[in-house]
Structure 1
Amino acid sequence: MTDGQWVILTCIPRVAHCLAGTLLAVADLRTRLTASTPPRASWLTVHRFFAPDYKALDNYPYIASANRRGLHLCASQQLVDEPLTRLDGFIGKELGLDDEHANKAFFLFKRTTTGSGRHVFLLPKFPRMINPGNACLVDDGDKDDFYGLETTRFIRYVGLHYWSTGSINQWLYRNLTYPESLWFRPWGAHGTIYHNCKIWWVDLSCGLLYGNPHDMLHESGKLSFVALPDGCELPARTPHLDKKRCVGVSAGKLRYVQIHKLRGRKGILVPVVSMWTLIDEATGEWRRDCRTPWKWIWDNLEPDKLPAVALIHPNHGDVVYFFKQFWIVGVDVREGRVLEWQFNAMLHPPLPYHSSRFVRPWLVARELLDGT
């Protein structure tokens, strides 16, 4: 393995009442990483103590962010007195939970180089729950910083919550100036990216908010906005966008991939996959790299059974991974060529919900994967 080692990390961890065949005391809680070479999936297994409920479409533990030093930020249910002895099940429906009042918490799981054990931190509670899709970990020298964007009430400002492993155990809060073009528009919270010393908050219906972490902590902090490429904006809260769209960093550049349909010469809608690269964040200029018909990739693909977007390869900007039934498939979208495929070992969510929301490329130091 090299310093550029990466894995495909599933964002919903598996849950077990015991690890390594031994019941665990609360003081000795551990997690286990099962790491594989892409395109095989890798996953984290956590103790039932951190996720006591059956999983459901609106209630599941979720790895919101992970950094190179082996720290995972996991949003889950609040701690309970006694872990429950249940199987790792998933209810294929919503329970109707209100996210504003859900009894949830953020945990940090830190992998060590001495085995499968991890240090576990419970972040202090805050008045309102931050959507996990708006949470980001930043590696800041000898400490790790948490940034969470609160977008439930936004007119001219949004709230930034900050917490650090190197500070006292409390939250810092700042109001950030919000771009006027987004006033009163619900934010999609489709994930965060730390790139080029900035945090990028993604809404797959309209674009990306971004800011420098240290600048945002000042009293005059503000957010900037980059719209998606021309013609890609959709109404707020358009459903299932994470099946058709994805933003990621590849070869040092922010890239955006989209599955959509274009009208062909005979007026027939043709499914295509397109890729853009952000070349100027100040002006919001994107360069379109390709627009490839799916029939070039799969000549027998049924138009109503298109794959779902999984992720963009972190090192090769032309390679995108897709979910196709029980498989994860790597495709060179510029050349229209399938490169590799592998049985998808992602346990949850159920197959119909597989999308870019539930996997992420995790770049990690080699020594943290040794022995997994």
Structure 2
Amino acid sequence: MAPTTADAAPAPTLPPPTSPWVILGSNPHVVELEGGADVSLALAAPPRVSRLAVSPCVFPDRPTPRNFPFLLATDPSGLLLLSAILDAPLTLVDVDLPGEQSVHWRYSDPRYFVLDAATGSAFRLPDPDPKEPIQHQALVGVLSSPAAAAAATWSQSSCPSWARTRPTSAASPPTSATRVFAPLRTLAHHGRLWWADYSWGVLTADPFADDPVLGFVPLPRPCVLKSREAWGVLDQLRYVGVSAGSLRFVDTYRRGGAPDKVTVWTLRDPDAPEWTLEHQATFADVWADDTYKATGLPKTAPVLALIHPSNPAVVYFFLEDHLFAVDVPARKVVDCERYHLVAPPREYGIVNRFVRDWELPRALSSGPGNWSSDIGLTEPTEAAPPSRPIPGGYHLVGNTKQTFIG
């Protein structure tokens, strides 16, 4: 005879599922953490979004839409690069660089931290010289040193510990006209840093070289846009990331209308000059499949989120309050879940810089200690919305001034 409800043994408590990688929200909670830790993680298997928390020692102010902590880059070593933009009195700063002299108003106090997720510690990097500021947060990344266990951070005009250096040479751009290079993401790949301008191409350099040399790989010819075309919205429509050991470019942009298809391009070799089209599918074909109908989502062009770090056929999208994955060549939805992100104001809309894919170090992926089975069941408190939205400009503070002159 089957036991009654009262007699039934309680169901065993199973550890939450683990994964070798996670989708990490870029905006952390700011909370007091147990044991005096500076960093804490609540991990969840994709497509759910994992959450990062930092202590008030990292960010002592109340986060606002203008001033807040933000995750800039991840590294498989377990290190995370975080910016903490604090409010500051309005100050006039002189800028005196070779060939450039100007002044600008400074109204924030940018701080940078390397977070060690495995130990829960945060290391504050030396403050950049206020007369030589990091011009844009999208210019910085984190990369493990090939010669040491420590990691170094570097920007296009800085080397480890923010000491200034200049590339000795650079590859020629694919045009003779003057144009601003405006990267939206910096990532590490093949022992180098890569700066992705979603309208034009990708710059790359080895920051540990004695004489760093910038290389340039233009986007596929049909994908190169005019200067400032689709300005401020490209991180809803395009993405550059690493998947299965190769650099991938995912594109949904369509001139003159809403996105109607997704293409996945591959840079087979880090030194290859051109991309190869690997996968493509129309959204109409995806919408027609039973797997999409089962999600209950509308037939509306989604926002591009990221590419699966080990399966380049799978691309993730935001739509309404869901994050879903599509097997592009199969035209099928393979995962779908409601997403819960800390802080991004709804007035700005969701964009792919609000999440980071992160291949976890073994210390985090092998054990259930940081994995949460109830993540996403409650909506986190959002930051107060701004009085006026700035499309595409929520976390990228600063002026990108990287110019090629033919």
TM over 0.5: yes
The structural deviation recorded for 1:355 is: 1.7
Q: Deviations over 1:279-300 (max 9, x none)?
A: 3554522111233110111138
Aligned residues: 321
Q: Which position in structure 2 is the counterpart of 1:236?
A: 227
Q: Cα 1:37–1:269, aligned 2, differ >3 Å: closer, same or farther?
A: closer
Residues 173 and 273 of structure 1, relative CA distance in 2, 3 Å threshold: same
Mapping for residues 310-349 of structure 1, pairs under 5 Å = 310-349=305-344
Q: 1:236 offset after TM fit, Å?
A: 3.3
Residues 58-77 of structure 1: pairs in structure 2 closer than 5 A: 58-77=66-85
Could you tell me how far apart the structure 1 residues matched to 2:258 and 2:58 are? 47
Q: Is the 8 A contact 1:49 1:79 kept in 2?
A: no
**Which string of whole-angstrom CA distances, capped at 9 and with x for unpartnered residues, describes residues 44-66 of structure 1?**
1112343314321x543211112
Structure 2 residue 189 is the aligned partner of structure 1 residue 195: yes
2-side partners of 1:315 and 1:11: how far apart?
Answer: 21
Q: 2:142 aligns to what SS in structure 1?
A: strand
Match of 1:5 among 7, 17, 20: 20
Tell me the equivalent position of 1:144: 151
Q: Name the structure with the higher strand share.
A: 1
Letter in 2 for 1:5: P
- Report if aligned partners of 1:289, 1:334 keep a CA contact under 8 Å in 2: no
Counterpart check, 1:129 vs 2:126: no
- Bigger CA radius of gyration: 2
Alpha carbons 2:114, 2:125 under 8 Å: kept: yes
Q: CA deviation at 1:187?
A: 2.3
Gaps of 5+ in 1: 23-27, 81-97, 150-159, 165-169
Contact 2:87-2:107 within 8 A present in 1 as well: no
Name the CA distance, whole Å, in 1 between partners of 2:270 and 2:118: 36
Pick the aligned partner of 1:30 from 25, 28, 38: 38
Q: 2:261 aligns with which of 256, 259, 272?
A: 272
Change (3 A) 1:236 1:47: farther
CA contact (8 A) 1:3 1:365 kept: no
Distance 1:47 1:3, change over 3 A: closer
SS at match of 1:295: helix
CA contact 2:190–2:270 (8 Å) conserved in 1: no
| Corresponding residue of 1:214 | 208
Change (3 A) 1:76 1:258: same
Determine whether 1:259 maps to 2:252: yes
Q: Which runs of 5+ in 2 are unaligned?
A: 1-15, 89-103, 371-406
- Higher-RCO chain (CA-CA 8 Å, sequence separation at least 6): 2
Shift in Å, 1:120: 2.9
Question: For 1:269 and 1:12, how far apart are their aligned partners in 2?
Answer: 28
Instruction: Find runs of 4+ consecutive structure 1 residues off by over 6 angstroms.
Output: 1-4, 300-303
Structure-2 change in CA distance of 1:270 and 1:4 (3 Å): closer
TM-score, normalising length: structure 2: 0.71
- Residue in 1 that maps onto 2:275: 286
Q: Are 1:356 and 2:349 an aligned pair?
A: no
Give, in whole Å, the separation in 2 of the partners of 1:77 and 1:176: 32
